[in-house]
Structure 1
Amino acid sequence: MNADLPERIVRFPEIKVESEVSVLFRFAGSATGNPPLAFLSYYQVLENFFPVAGRRSALRKIELELTDPRFDRRSDKCLMRLLDVGENAAAASEASHLKILLEEFVRKDVLESFFSENPWGKHFTKQGPIKGITENINPENKQTPLAHQVAERVYRIRNRIVHAKDDPKYQNTPALLPQSDEAEALWPDIDLVRLLACEVILSAQVRS
């Protein structure tokens, strides 16, 4: 009956994920009884991609310098600009690495949709249930890119889970502990960092 129709072959996308990343991602999804641990595991997925994001950002800046018609390889000033790119990349803080990663690997429209298409209420604001948040997440903010706003929030929460007792910057903010009301309120942020992890894994496949 359908002899004249061409055979349709369904192809599923192939994604190769490093074993460490795969283990962390699966573990995060199974840590339903410990929200801070789930958040931290997804964050560790992001950490695995800091080096490649930093390299790509640095290479793009170097390429811009080299293709600039004003670049003169005999000029110490021009050569120092190239050196500065490499040195800045090597000296970047973890917070800077996270911002670079989200800029390089997370699609802007996907990030905007996360906030616009879900009823988060005041969760991602200073009035939300997570302490130590100093700025609202505002996709309409023209001064600070959304990726930077998200990176700042994610990094603050990460430090409350990991370094709250050790880093003087967070000494006035209590640790975010398991089995607390605040920990149970963390799930929207876990959804956010899971989305970031998915985006980074996907983008790494496309660009590799």
Structure 2
Amino acid sequence: MWLDAGADKVEVKLRRFDDAQRIDMLAEQLSADLIVLHQHIGIARTACGHVEVMIEDARFWGPPATWPGYFYARAGSNWLAGDVTKRPALTVRHESIGITAEISPISPLLDWIKHRMLPPAELGHHGGPINTLKISGIVAPDRESLQTALVDIARSLAFDLEAFTGDGFVLPPRTDDDARQAWWSGDELTLEPRRRPAAEPILSLRSYDSQAISYLHHAKRSHAVPIAAFLGYYQVIEYFFSRYTRKSAVALLRAKLADQDFAAEHDRHAVDLIDALAEHTKRVHNERAQLRITLTDCLLPEQLRTFLRADEALHTHLGPRGPLTALPPIDIDSDQLINQVAERIYMLRCMIVHSKPEFRGSESVLLLPDSPTALLISDDVELVRYAAVAVIAASGT
């Protein structure tokens, strides 16, 4: 059998099956408009707007890629020995647009032909039945439009899942065997982000910044080294600094122009406006101020309080009796909660980046990478992760 793959054709050798039910299921999925995706490991039916594609866990993906599979390992589990927990099937729908997305076990058809789209080294690595992303209801006039829609919908759903449940995924490209070499060992999986509280996933179809999500995935893969994970999530927030400092300047400008006493034809008023913008620029020039502005714009105090109260260990860690006494504590009932969070994140970032001790009173703390103190920042990683996800979500369109 030959399937359309753009300018080329993909040969799929027929083989005998002993399972009659599997043959029936396979026959139902064969149709004249069936094509092979040329950028991803998947298939599509152009007439009905249905796509099925292989996805990978965001924790284990990254250039160079690992192997295909959307399933996660419990903390302390032995991935290489196959001790993994499979995710249940998931179906979400956007009613107004008519798009349905499903994550469920691979279909017989894709399972049958995936060996034609994967390098040989990949074929034995997925550890059994895997889940794929299936999207239906896509209205696309041609192959390229279908491909674009797939990427947009997959990216949106991937971040929604990451924000709601911590189960993000990536849409890996088709690559050759040399590019898909494992870059980690099983020991690196002993730490991972805390499981988020159970939530009802959604299909928002919002668009999120792909570069920021790349930083987010990098941070998620770094949880075995808390210092690296903290800096990874900080990079996510830092990525948006320029956007929100400019936004604050625009807000100031509009407020001045909207003042009923402002008269542009008066030189004094114009000079006052210039001075106000210059002072604002000077005030937000430093990184501490940019972090505070970004978090103030993106975080909702009540949602942040709910998050902190739901995690007793984190609440205690951040409070006045927490173990990192060189860092300012956080009072979740304070009306300055977001400013306190921003200050703690900033000070911890400085302790890591500048390799110098921070002082609180007469106490000095040097955050050495292999020290017990460095491991204590795992709870602060949860805090900065929450902030990073919230910033991406608030910046979506």
Aligned residue identity for 1:90: T
More displaced stretch, 68-77 vs 152-161: 68-77
More helix by share: 1
Q: How much is the aligned-residue C-alpha RMSD, in angstroms?
A: 2.5
| 1:44 correspondence with 2:238 | no
Contact 1:122 1:128 in 2 (8 A): yes
Q: Could you tell me which amino acid in structure 2 is paired with residue 128 of structure 1? A: G
2:322 aligns with 128
Q: Which runs of 5+ in 2 are unaligned?
A: 1-94, 102-202
Give the one of 384, 388, 395 matched to 1:193. 384
Give the AA of the match of 2:230.
F
Aligned to 2:7: none
Q: Which runs of 4+ in 1 moved over 3 A?
A: 8-11, 15-20, 172-175
SS at match of 2:318: coil
Matched, 1:153 2:344: yes
3-state SS, counterpart of residue 46 of structure 1: helix
> Where is the strand percentage greater, Structure 1 or Structure 2?
2
Which of 242, 250, 259 aligns to 1:68? It is 259
Query: Contact between 1:105 and 1:203, CA under 8 Å: does it hold in 2?
Result: yes
Please report how far the alpha carbon of residue 79 of structure 1 lies from its aligned counterpart in structure 2 after TM superposition: 2.0
How far the C-alpha of 1:61 sits from its partner, in A, is 1.4
User: How many residues are matched?
Assistant: 194
Instruction: Give the % identical residues.
Output: 29
**Rounded Cα–Cα distance in structure 2 between residues aligned with 1:121 and 1:161:** 22
Counterpart amino acid of residue 322 in structure 2: G
Query: Residues 62 and 37 from structure 1, CA distance in 2 versus in 1: closer, same or farther, beyond 3 angstroms?
Result: same
Of 94-103 and 27-36, more deviation after overlay is shown by: 27-36
Alignment of 1:39-118 (within 5 A): 39-91=230-282, 92=284, 93-118=286-311
| Distance change >3 Å, CA 106–CA 78, structure 1 → 2 | same
Higher relative contact order (CA closer than 8 Å, sequence separation 6+): 1
Give distance in 2, aligned partners of 1:15 and 1:175: 42
TM-score where L is the length of structure 2: 0.45
Give 1:201 shift: 0.5
Q: CA deviation at 1:196?
A: 0.7
Tell me the TM-score normalized by structure 1: 0.82
